Each structure stands twice: as structure tokens, then as C-alpha cells.
Amino acid sequence: MIEFTAGLDSSFQMWVVFAFIGVAFVFYVFERASMEMTSVGLICALLVFFHFFPVAGPFGGNLVDPVRILHGFSNPALITVLALLVIGQGMVRTGILDHGARVILSIVKGRMGSILAMLFALIVVIVISAFLNNIPVVVIFIPIMQALSARFGQSASKWMIPLSFAAVFGGMTTLIGSGTNLLVNGALIEMGERPFGFFDFSVPGIVLASVGLIYIVLVIPRLLPDRDDASEQGLQREGKHFLAQITVGENAELIGETPVGGIFRGLPNMTVRMIFSNNQTVLPPFEDHEVKSGDVLVVAATRKALKDSLLSDPGLLYPVLEDGGHKGHMKIMSKPWEEGEQMLAEIMVVPASRLIGRTLSQVGFRYKTSCVVVGIQRRSRMIRSRITDIRLQAGDVLLVQGQPTDITGLKEYRDVVLIEWSSEELPTLDHARRSLGIFALVIALAATGTVPIVVSALCGAAAMVAFQVINIQQAFRAMDSKIVTTIAAALALGVALQETGGATYIAHGLVNAMDGQSSTAILSMFFLLVAVSANIVSSKACAVLFTPIAVDIARVIGVPPEAFALAVVFAANCSFASPLGYQTNILVMAPGGYRFIDFVKVGVPLVLLMWIVFSFFVPWYYGL
């Protein structure tokens, strides 16, 4: 039997720290207060307690002084996580992920069955999540998975949880794949242990991800109920369509296309209402009509469909104004709706507006406001006319595009009212190459060890702002306050747990409880302990709290700490049985129409599967 002999000098402080952890768990799980308030309150409690009950060091002084408690706010791991969030925001803002997702959707829709389609899409999610924060990846892929589920006649509830879990698996394969990994690495550095390299745990991570991928593709859809997507229902009920028009250019992909049943393959999610061709009007079903250069297609579509078209082909929906009133002006003026940052917004024509009874050409709207109208909505009746020929009425809603300052300036335009909640930023497509180059350089520098990860990530985030991929406000918005405060609080608890002997106490307790067992068995049980905890509280908090314990266990049984640190990395990411432990689980709850029990039903077997695979593979891999 190994006797516990260390850490009792600070037993009072140790038990108080355990109490703090217990109270924090209750607040986090039951949401007695916001996560930010709980985290800040916990830091304040630690500051006050250790001011009056200090932990004396070997040379005097307080081992848990305010500098150590607040050190989490400047921790390199936290700074790296925040910098990677900014870089990820840059990738999202430039539409790179959107474009890639649409390509994947087009490949998967046409050539594969439902199982192969899900497998292919999830493999792509895993690969991307290995190098990007998985939150924006899941946000981008939610509509993709919804479209795929509809394509194969399945409920979105069969596809959403697999999406979240695949993103988590991707994060397990590289050092920067998850903030959890970076925090474990940071804790190792704090304790004077050798940190992980960029690909140090990629092999076991890929093994776990491969087994998990088979489970989420073949088993999870059978366990999940058929449940309607609440958000999709809302969209169906809304039925809000705008009328827009497309002028077919000389090099347009639509040229030569003929409709099938009145539907044009090159215009997904759009209904063509009429076509103007050679001064003739062609009505549905457009039999035998072949699209030619110069044709004007009048389409009806939702705002989302129009936005997707703008992203894939900027300028496609800009109506050509043929009225002579402003034609000359059009040739010489700049076009701010085609330059720099862009936004979409909705405006309503007010009663007594000077726009009433006039067409867009007569109004000169784009010259007065520097915004372009891409769609018109009129609820009273279905319109079959070019939007440039429509005489505006009070209550008409116009979908407009322009630079942020110009959209804001619409508040001063008395003939319309800006529907402020409708404002939405569009990706800055012209900066896509810059963001991709910055991202690739950050990965290359970190992966090769040329500079530390915190250096490459922070410089990459700064470059995103310096090269105008995103502005400073967007960069700060990308930094989640929950992540900042929760990680800082967890790091403060980690310091207190280590310096009061709490980590050593738990380590010895676990080893003594398994007296006579092999290091492999101890490692296996430790993994299970962390995995269960990760489904109760934040995976990032588990990463910080359990890393000191992992190192102490390894020291007690006399084995290298890498395997036990790796147990924290993988187990803390195994928050599959609860939506609480990982943000991606929360993101898919509404689109999938899930309840808490759905995560328990599919997550518990997956956690156990990961435990078994880890228990067999990792000890062999590390030669324990």
C-alpha cells in the first residue's frame, strides 16, 4: 500500500478548495448564474480566501497570491485559444468555409447514398476541425447537414449530433484542434513537464476518431428519434420570399440550360416566375426555352437563398437599370456595394414616401444611398414583373446591400425605415486569399516548431486585422467572454489545487484505491473519471483541474506523464453524453430538435467505446 505523506500541511486550505470546486460545479451545471459571473465570483472567492489564509512557501510568502490566481488571464494557452478564435472568424468572414461547404454539398448530393454522404461530410468536418476551432465549423455545416438530410428524406435529428461529435473528434487529432488540448499543454508547461508537439497525439487521436466515426455513422442515426427541426419548421411557416432578377451575362454558367419541370438546376432554392428574352415574356413551365446571354430571369427566393447566390456570384442579383434618368451617372460613379465590407438589410417603404408610385430606375435609390436593391417583397399578391418595372407601394420591403456605413445611413433616409434587426454582414470574398495565406502560415510555423504556437497564433490574429481581413471590432467579438472567464477560473482553481496538495491527495487516493493494479488499469480508470466529469462541467475546466492530478499519478507510480496527460486530453473531449460540456452540442440542439435524454442515449455508449479503445491502444502505444 502506498501511503499518503505529502500535502497535509495545507489540509484546511485544501478542503476549502474542494468545497469551492463543488460549489462551482453546482453553479455551472444548474446555471444558478451566468457562466461569466460564476467564474468571476469564483476568482474573487479565491482571492479573498487566500489573502486571509495564505499557503506558506518554503522561503516564506504566499504560494497562492493574487499574481498566481490571476495568472490565468495571461496564460499562453488562453491567449492561443483566443487568437485561434480570431483566425477562425477571419476564415468565416471571407467565405472560405462557406464556399468549401457548398462544393461538398454539390458532390455529396449527386453521387452518394445517405450513409456514404454522411460519412464523406463528417470526414471533411473532422479534417477541418483538426486545424480550426470547431465552433464556426459546426455553425457553417449545420445548414449543409440540414440540406443533406432533406435530400435523402430524413429528419435533421439524424444528422445534427453526428456533426457535433465529428467536430469534437477532429479536435482530438492535433494540438490546436481544441482549446482543451492547449490548456492541458499549458498546464504541463506550468508544472515543468515536457509539452506536447503539434502532432504528438495525432496517431491515437486518429484511432479514436476512426472508431468513433464508424459509431456515429452506423449506430447513432438508428438510436436518434425522428424529430422535426424546430428552426426548419419556423422557416417553413414564415414563407418569406423576395422577388429578384438575374441578368444573364455573356459568360454565365446558366447559358444553354433548359429547365426540367420548370426548375433550373443552376438556381437551387429559387423559383423562376418569368423570363424576358428578346423582348418577349416567357412564363412557366418554360418548355423548350434555352437560357441565352441577355435573358432576364425573375425569381422568387428566401433571403438565405439570395444571400447564398450573392456569395457564390457577387453581382448576380444586381438589377440593370435601363431607364435613362441615371444611366450616364451610372457609368462614371463608383459602386460602393461592390467594394469593401458588405451588409444585407431590409427596409420598408413608409406611407407618404416619395418612392411610392415610382420604379427603382426613376427613384435613383442606389445613387442617393450607395446601396443596391437586390429583392422586393410585397405580401399582398404574387408579382410577375421585373423588379426594375415595379412601382413601389407603401409597405413594400426591400432587401438591400451596401457598406456598413451606408446601411447605417439609411436611418436618415426618411422615405424608408431600416429594419435594424435584419442587418447582416456578408463575407468579404475579396480577402479570401489573404485569410487562407495567413491561416496556412500560422499552421506551418506551429507544426514545424519554428516558433511557439502562442507566437504564431497571436501574430496570425494580428495579421488578420492588419491586412483588413476583419476589423478590430470583429476580432474582439470573436473572443467569447465565457471562454475567457471560465478558463481563467479553472486555471486559478488548478493553481490552488496544486499548491494546497489537493492534486497530490486525489492522485494518492486513486492509486491507493487501486492498490496492486497495473499502470494500465490505473490509466484506464483515470480516463473514465475525467470523461464522466467532462459531461457534468466544461471540458476546458476538466482539462485544467485534472492535468496536475494526472502528472502526480504518473509520478507516484513511476511512469512517464505523457500517457496520463493524454488521458486528460481525450477524456476531457469526451463530453458526448450531455449538451453541457461542449459548446458544439449546444449549437446543434435547436436544429436537431433534441432533448437532454437524446445525448444520454447516444453519448453514454460512445463514452464507453472511447474508454475501451483508449484503454487498449494508448498503453500499448506508450509501452506501459
Tell whether 496 and 509 lie within a shared domain. yes
Question: What's the Cα-to-Cα distance from 324 to each of 104, 320, 361, rounded to whole Å?
Answer: 44, 12, 8
Q: Is 559 inside a domain boundary?
A: yes
Per-residue model confidence as pLDDT tens digits over 420-475: 677 777 777 667 788 888 888 888 888 887 888 888 889 989 999 888 888 888 88
Per-residue model confidence as pLDDT tens digits over 590-607: 778 788 788 888 999 999
List, edge to edge, every strand of the sheet that includes 270-277. 280-282, 270-277, 296-301, 242-247, 372-377, 397-402, 342-349, 416-426
- pLDDT of 110 above 60: no
Q: What is the gyration radius of the CA atoms in the chain, in angstroms? A: 29
Name the domain boundary from 301, 327, 352: 301
Q: Is 131 inside a domain boundary?
A: yes
Q: Is 306 inside a domain boundary?
A: no
Name the domain boundary from 427, 450, 480: 427
First vs last C-alpha separation in the chain? 21
For residues 510 and 206, the answer to whether their CB atoms sit within 8 Å is no
Tell whether 273 and 199 lie within a shared domain. no
Tell whether 367 and 513 lie within a shared domain. no
Look at 203 and 58; give whichever has higher pLDDT.
203
Beta-bridge partners for 296 = 247, 276
Tell whether 139 and 79 lie within a shared domain. yes
Q: How many CA atoms lie within 13 A of 88 on its CB side?
A: 27
Total number of residues shown for the chain: 624
For residues 244 and 306, the answer to whether their CB atoms sit within 8 Å is yes
Tell whether 515 and 614 lie within a shared domain. yes
For residues 338 and 314, the answer to whether their CB atoms sit within 8 Å is yes
Q: Is 312 inside a domain boundary?
A: no
For 111-158, give the secondary structure using H, E and C.
Answer: HCCHHHHHHHHHHHHHHHHCCCCHHHHHHHHHHHHHHHHHHCCCCHHH
Cell numbers for 609, please give them: 467505446
Please state the domain count of the chain. 3
Tell whether 458 and 358 lie within a shared domain. no
Tell me which H or E stretch contains 49.
Answer: helix 35-52
Q: What pLDDT is recorded for position 497?
A: 78
Answer positive or negative: Cα dihedral of 137, 494, 547, 613.
negative
Q: How far apart are CA 474 and CA 549, in angstroms?
A: 38
- CATH classification of the domain holding 247: 3.30.70.1450
Tell whether 355 and 261 lie within a shared domain. no
Name the domain boundary from 427, 462, 493: 427
Q: Is 295 inside a domain boundary?
A: yes
Q: Is 325 inside a domain boundary?
A: no
Q: Which domain holds residue 271?
A: 242-301
Tell me which H or E stretch contains 246.
Answer: strand 242-247
Q: How far apart are CA 532 and CA 545, in angstroms?
A: 14
Q: What pLDDT is recorded for position 214?
A: 93
Q: Is 544 inside a domain boundary?
A: yes
Tell whether 413 and 434 lie within a shared domain. no
Mean pLDDT for the stretch of residues 258-283: 79
Tell whether 467 and 608 lie within a shared domain. yes
Tell whether 536 and 616 lie within a shared domain. yes
For residues 7 and 500, the answer to whether their CB atoms sit within 8 Å is yes
Tell me which H or E stretch contains 101.
Answer: helix 96-111
Prediction pTM value: 0.69
Tell whether 199 and 210 lie within a shared domain. yes
Mean pLDDT for the stretch of residues 373-377: 88
Tell whether 555 and 619 lie within a shared domain. yes
Q: Is 345 inside a domain boundary?
A: yes
Cell numbers for 478, please give them: 470573436
